[in-house]
Structure 1
Amino acid sequence: MPWINEGGNGGSWKPGNGGPWGQKPSAPPPDFEEFLRRGQDKLKQWMPGGGSVGARGLLALVLIGAIIWLLSGFYTVGPNEVGLNKIFGRYTGKTGPGLNYNLPFPVGAVQKLQVTNRNAINIGFGARQDIRATGAQIQVDLPEESLMLTGDENIADVKFVVIWQIDPVRPEDYAFNIANQRETVKAVAESAMREVIGRSQIQRILTAERKVIEPAVQELMQKILNEYKAGILILQVQLQSVDPPEQVIAAFRDVTAAQQDQNRLRNEAEAYANRVVPEARGKAAATVQEAEGYRLQTVAEATGQASRFSQIYEQYKKAPDVTRQRIYLETMERVFGGMDKVIVDQGGAQGQGVLPYLPLNALTARPADGARK
């Protein structure tokens, strides 16, 4: 039903037959009336025939407005972002980097998440600006977060940093499944660290197990967040410091130094044992081999002498006198062979009993010795 313009009534609009709902509408504010009047004048300029605003004019306005509204649904997603499309608040899908489209407000909405950015959360300490220096920050300890009970009922002061990011595969879980995502990650990190510290002893935490704690906490955090369907990836857990409480830190350092000295002395003793024991074993093996060689040599000599005696005895039984004389002569030769000798002939014709002896071997050996000198 067309609307009729009564110019004599201050430019106000009245329905021709009581309005489309059978009621007389109230007069709009003056500013709105002026806006409608100017819009009507401009519309008349390009409408065919320049006539009054009718159903076609309203339809054209609606179409133009609808086109502008639909075109406003285009949006751009950055290279490090993921867009989450929603229709009437309900999640309908995600979009990657580039130009994308979703129905505009109030029907649709887009939530952009920076899925490649790395976020860090400090546990056990914080930072605040130093009022004495412009722009400088100082570390502030938070004992309510850092003090943890160990498995042997001691207290450890643990400060660490958690590095995390939004899961690019499931960013909708991050956006819709949990609230206060940063606080949730912090609470899970503190809980996981307390559980891991509660299974360890204070001395191992301060010395050997520091590198074991980090992956254990990271794995436990990821498991808990996956159960929450939080859409968060834990990239790294970094221990900043693991110390006893400040009141007893000096005593613990003395104990740690003593343990280090103990380990050093143990290592030195093991190195000495590793050097001495092989030497002793080598000497023992050499002595055993020498004894075994001496035994074999002695047995062989004794066996040879026994065999030689048996052979001589066999010959002696065959010719006792000849064998006896031969043994005597060989013995005298062996005994007197290297000695100076004087031979006395008692049966000589002149009766002197002395036989001159010319040691030819000695005479031939002396000139040779003199030539060498």
Structure 2
Amino acid sequence: MAWNEPGNQGKDPWGNRGGKDQGPPDLDEVFRKFSSRFGGGGGNFNKMGVLLVLIGAIIVWGLSGLYKIEEAERGVVLRFGEFHEIVGPGLKWKPTFIDEVYPVNIQRVNRLNASGLMLTQDENVVTVQMEVQYRIEDPHKYLFRVTNPDQSLSEALDSALRYVIGHTTMDNILTVGRDKVRRDTWEELEGIIEPYDMGLRVVDVAFKEARPPEEVKPAFDDAIAAQEDEERFVQEATAYSRQVEPQARGRAERMLREANAYRERVVLEAEGEVARFTQLLPQYEAAPEVTRERLYLETMEQVFSNTSKVMVDNKDGGSMFYLPLDKIIQGGGSAPMVEQAPANRQTSTSSSGARTTSSDNSTGRSSVRQGRN
């Protein structure tokens, strides 16, 4: 049964019996009873209580002003809502209700992504995803230059990416032009955020993904495979040319040097012949027969210098010939064949001047054959 129902004679929540008084107890009366228990008058207690409350409040206020700034952070201090200073890392104190401190991490690399379906220069649709990495350089500007710097940077990245994609063909986006798209997006993004002076510095822009729509993906996969085959063939041809070209250049250089050497040798020989003829002409004019005989002998000596035969002139008609064995032995060759020329004629002989000899294979002895007139 509730305490205030009819017929309830019990205590109510305020300590009244019989339910006659339904209101709360008098607070002043309760406070006077409490102060009287401590044996002091009401005025003295009020002064001491106020003093204790003030001291406690000052202690709590002083302790509440302690704060810590981490090593990677900087604290932006506002005094009565106005920028006051930027404090470094460490244990700090601020007057509570007067200063407010906003710690900002300036060493952490923050990341934002931008992605979506975008229209290319050649009126194709491509799905592109790009990530920007940035750091906070100026905490004050980061907090108070714009309302939401992260959201502003994300919108600037999306705008820059769509502008660059709209000025690039789809083949370049999917294949060889990815790095150029990344660099152009970076430059365009910095150009957009520079007037806002948000206190941010872009560290890197990463081109994460670029793909055609799923409906036409198989056709683009074939095109990419063909592009890769083309690049592979070009690289193989380049490697082959780098291998063959030095060899061809070496052969051409060798042939050129041989031709130059041959030309110089022929020219020198021709010049020598001309000089020899110039020197010989006066002698021939003075004594034609002697000069002609000498030229004949020099020519025959040159022709028979590498043969094993000896040319003798048997004008005496004798049958004995002197065989120069000492020169034959020094030559280290087999005994030369000596042939007798007819009388009053010159025939082929060896350069040693020996008469014609022949080897007898059965007896190992040398024999002399005498020519007859």
TM range (shorter): 0.5 to 0.7
Partner of 1:52, secondary structure, is helix
2:227 to 243, 259, 273: 259
Q: TM-score, normalised by structure 2?
A: 0.65
Cα deviation code 1:206-265 (max 9, x no counterpart): 223334444544454455444323333444333331112222222222222212222222
Please tell me whether residue 355 in structure 1 is matched to residue 318 in structure 2. Answer: yes
Instruction: Point out where structure 1 has 5 or more consecutive residues left out of the alignment.
Output: 1-28, 125-145, 349-353
Partner of 1:200, secondary structure, is coil
Alignment of 1:52-91 (within 5 A): 52=43, 60=51, 63-64=54-55, 67-68=58-59, 70-71=61-62, 73-79=64-70, 80-91=72-83
Alignment of 1:243-322 (within 5 A): 243-322=211-290
Q: 1:329 to 1:244 in 2, by over 3 A?
A: closer
Give the partner amino acid of 1:360: L
Query: Do the aligned partners of 2:69 and 2:91 also contact (CA within 8 Å) in 1?
Result: no
Q: Flag the structure with higher helix content.
A: 1
Partner of 2:43, secondary structure, is coil
**Distance (whole Å) between structure 2 residues aligned to residue 36 and residue 117 of structure 1:** 57
Q: 1:95 to 1:41 in 2, by over 3 A?
A: farther
Please tell me whether residue 101 in structure 1 is matched to residue 71 in structure 2. Answer: no
Query: Do the aligned partners of 2:182 and 2:206 also contact (CA within 8 Å) in 1?
Result: yes
Q: 1:188 to 1:52 in 2, by over 3 A?
A: same
**Distance (whole Å) between structure 2 residues aligned to residue 309 and residue 274 of structure 1:** 53
Alignment of 1:1-373 (within 5 A): 33=28, 37=32, 45=40, 50=41, 52=43, 60=51, 63-64=54-55, 67-68=58-59, 70-71=61-62, 73-79=64-70, 80-105=72-97, 107-124=98-115, 146-165=116-135, 167=136, 169-327=137-295, 329-330=297-298, 338=307, 339=309, 345=315, 354-356=317-319, 358=321, 360-361=323-324, 365=328, 368-369=332-333
Structure of higher CA gyration radius: 2
Cα deviation code 1:288-335 (max 9, x no counterpart): 333332233223223322332333332233344544554455556566
Cα deviation code 1:8-31 (max 9, x no counterpart): xxxxxxxxxxxxxxxxxxxxx968
Query: Do the aligned partners of 2:69 and 2:92 also contact (CA within 8 Å) in 1?
Result: no
| Count of residues in correspondence between the two structures | 309
> How far is 1:116 from its partner?
4.2
Q: TM-score, normalised by structure 1?
A: 0.65
Q: 1:179 to 1:333 in 2, by over 3 A?
A: closer
Give the partner amino acid of 2:321: L
> How far is 1:76 from its partner?
0.9
> How far is 1:188 from its partner?
2.3
Cα deviation code 1:320-354 (max 9, x no counterpart): 45445544555565667754657564xx7xxxxx4
Query: Do the aligned partners of 1:72 and 1:104 also contact (CA within 8 Å) in 2?
Result: no
Give the partner amino acid of 1:121: L
**Distance (whole Å) between structure 1 residues aligned to residue 109 and residue 37 of structure 2:** 54
Q: Residue 371 of structure 2 corresponds to which residue in structure 1?
A: none
**Distance (whole Å) between structure 2 residues aligned to residue 44 and residue 113 of structure 1:** 55
Q: 1:77 to 1:264 in 2, by over 3 A?
A: same
Query: Do the aligned partners of 2:173 and 2:210 also contact (CA within 8 Å) in 1?
Result: yes
Give the partner amino acid of 1:96: G
Give the partner amino acid of 2:112: I
Give the partner amino acid of 1:290: E
Give the partner amino acid of 1:67: I
**Distance (whole Å) between structure 1 residues aligned to residue 250 and residue 265 of structure 2:** 22
Query: Do the aligned partners of 2:112 and 2:133 also contact (CA within 8 Å) in 1?
Result: yes
Once superposed, what is the RMSD of the aligned Cα atoms?
Answer: 4.1
Give the partner amino acid of 1:365: I
Query: Do the aligned partners of 2:174 and 2:210 also contact (CA within 8 Å) in 1?
Result: yes
Q: 1:39 to 1:191 in 2, by over 3 A?
A: farther
Q: 1:68 to 1:215 in 2, by over 3 A?
A: farther
Identity of aligned residues (%): 35
Give the partner amino acid of 1:52: G
Give the partner amino acid of 2:170: I
Instruction: Point out where structure 2 has 5 or more consecutive residues left out of the alignment.
Output: 1-23, 336-373
Partner of 2:76, secondary structure, is strand
